[in-house]
């Protein structure tokens, strides 16, 4: 898959809902009810971070949920890409980008949303064909004002800011012309997952899904 195709696919993905939930799950048994609650609340694109031993099983389980589009986050190496693909991930997300990771995603047909934190990184990815990128970590890097400043010289690049995004600042990002959607873990808090409070998560998803763009 070319970077251009990957960017088109990720643009479609980012346009499905204003928020992509970033999920950290320790137990694959919670995967299905969690995905069902998020999809039902209006958030179909789900990023499962490869930060736990259960993550690949979580991707397998969530992929069975109707209406969900499940991807893998925290992709660092070609091995991660291979494992994510094998588990059924439909897209990939990474905190940054290396040539080896980009090569692997292009070779294995996994549309990657690559992470970027500076104009030079964004330009390098743009040069390769990636017009849709993740701005990470968004808040610590200066937040919405930084992306607003980038929009002037880099209008061709659109972003999914992630890292520190919350209900308090999501609207500031979503109001920018170069922001397609945001990523965030707030819609799936660990305590609600542990206690199986799916109604609460569905409600958080519903609120996130109605954020204006």
In the complex, minimum distance from the CB of residue 166 to ligand ELE, in angstroms, rounded to a whole number? 7
Marked catalytic residue, from 36, 61, 134, 202? 134
In the complex, minimum distance from the CB of residue 40 to ligand ELE, in angstroms, rounded to a whole number? 21
What span, in angstroms and rounded, lies between the C-alpha atoms of 190 and 186?
Answer: 9
What span, in angstroms and rounded, lies between the C-alpha atoms of 164 and 39?
Answer: 22
What span, in angstroms and rounded, lies between the C-alpha atoms of 158 and 122?
Answer: 10
In the complex, minimum distance from the CB of residue 17 to ligand ELE, in angstroms, rounded to a whole number? 15
User: Which residues are near ligand ELE by CB under 6 A?
Assistant: 22, 49, 51, 73-74, 93, 95, 136, 162-165, 183-185
Under 8 Å CB-to-CB from 25, ≥6 apart: which residues? Answer: 31, 34, 48, 52, 54, 55, 58, 193
Residue placing its CB nearer to ligand ELE in the complex, 44 or 115: 115
Residue 55, φ and ψ in degrees, nearest 5: -55, -45
DSSP letter (8 states) at residue 77: S
Number of neighbouring beta carbons within 10 Å of residue 145:
10
Residue placing its CB nearer to ligand ELE in the complex, 165 or 176: 165
**Catalytic residue check, 85:** no
User: Are the C-beta atoms of residues 150 and 157 closer than 8 Å to each other?
Assistant: yes
Residue placing its CB nearer to ligand ELE in the complex, 153 or 200: 200
Residue placing its CB nearer to ligand ELE in the complex, 156 or 179: 179
In the complex, minimum distance from the CB of residue 143 to ligand ELE, in angstroms, rounded to a whole number? 12
**Catalytic residue check, 9:** no
Marked catalytic residue, from 9, 36, 47, 61? 47
Q: Active-site residue numbers?
A: 47, 134
């Amino acid at each position: 898959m070319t970077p251009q195709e990957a960017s088109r696919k990720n643009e479609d993905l980012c346009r499905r809902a204003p928020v992509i939930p970033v999920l950290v799950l320790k137990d694959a048994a919670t995967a299905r009810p969690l995905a069902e609650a998020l999809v039902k609340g209006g958030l179909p694109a789900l990023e499962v971070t490869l930060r736990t031993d259960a993550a690949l099983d979580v991707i397998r389980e969530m992929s069975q949920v109707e209406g969900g589009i499940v991807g893998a986050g925290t992709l660092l190496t070609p091995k991660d890409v291979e494992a994510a693909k094998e588990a059924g991930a439909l897209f990939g997300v990474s905190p940054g980008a290396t040539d080896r990771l980009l090569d692997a995603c292009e070779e294995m047909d996994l549309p990657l949303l690559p992470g970027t934190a500076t104009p030079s990184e964004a330009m390098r990815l743009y040069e390769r064909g990636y017009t849709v990128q993740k701005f990470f970590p968004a808040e610590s890097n200066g937040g919405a004002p930084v992306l607003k400043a980038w929009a002037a010289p880099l209008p061709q690049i659109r972003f999914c800011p992630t890292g520190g995004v919350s209900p308090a600042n999501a609207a500031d990002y979503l109001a920018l012309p170069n922001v397609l959607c945001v990523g965030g873990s707030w819609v799936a808090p660990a305590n609600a997952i542990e206690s199986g409070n799916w109604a609460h998560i569905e409600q958080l998803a519903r609120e996130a899904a109605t954020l204006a763009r």
